[in-house]
Amino acid sequence: MSDCIFCKIVAGEIPSEKIYEDDKIIVIKDVNPGAPVHVLIIPKEHTDNILHAPSELLLYIQDKLEEIVKKLGVYEDGFRIVINTGVDGGQSVNHLHFHVLGGKTLGWPPC
Ligand code: AMP
């Protein structure tokens, strides 16, 4: 989508700090981190949110997760995956993305 910031990041039109990339996803550092480790797993193909995501894509991301969290150094101590969805869910970018947060003991509830 031409006006989507994450599509522009995927296309290399907006710079990002890439942690991982393959033909289906990129993983970048969140520009406004909410924890010592805060990255975004972003599918390259535009999908508005998790409700519209193909299940094969979700399985693919789940399969990649162990490799990604090992790379981030949060495999042992744990991490949190957040998928904000819609207005009440606090989604500010309408391109599906998984927040991966960690590097400290996170509080709960998140609001
Ligand atoms: P959400 O509010 O769940 O839609 O998350 C969007 C996230 O994207 C926020 O945590 C932002 O800090 C992050 N973000 C927005 N623009 C960029 C960017 N150019 N590079 C990296 N992260 C970004």
Q: Rounded CA gap, 108 and 25, in Å?
A: 28
pLDDT confidence of residue 7: 98
Q: State the pLDDT at residue 111.
A: 80
User: In this model, does residue 88 exceed pLDDT 80?
Assistant: yes
Q: Residue 33: is its pLDDT beyond 90?
A: yes
Among 27, 32, 95, name the best residue to mutate to test ligand 1's pocket (greatest count of ligand atoms within 8 A of Cβ).
Answer: 32
Q: Which residues line the pocket of ligand 1, CB cutoff 6 A?
A: 5, 14, 16, 28, 30-32, 40, 84, 90-93
> What's the pLDDT tens digit per position in 13-32?
999 999 999 999 999 999 99
Q: Which helix (H) or strand (E) holds 19?
A: strand 18-21
Q: What is the C-alpha separation between 87 and 54, in angstroms, rounded?
A: 22
pTM of the model: 0.97
pLDDT confidence bin for 47, thresholds 50/70/90: very high
Please identify every residue annotated as catalytic: 97
Q: Please give the average per-residue pLDDT across 30-43, as a whole number.
A: 98
- Judged against a pLDDT cut of 80, whether residue 1 lies above it is answered with no
Cβ(16)–Cβ(9) under 8 Å? yes
Q: Is residue 110 pLDDT above 90, yes or no? A: no
pLDDT digits (tens, 9 = 90+) for 50-74: 999 999 999 999 999 999 999 999 9
Write down all domains in the chain, each with its CATH number in brackets.
5-102 (3.30.428.10)
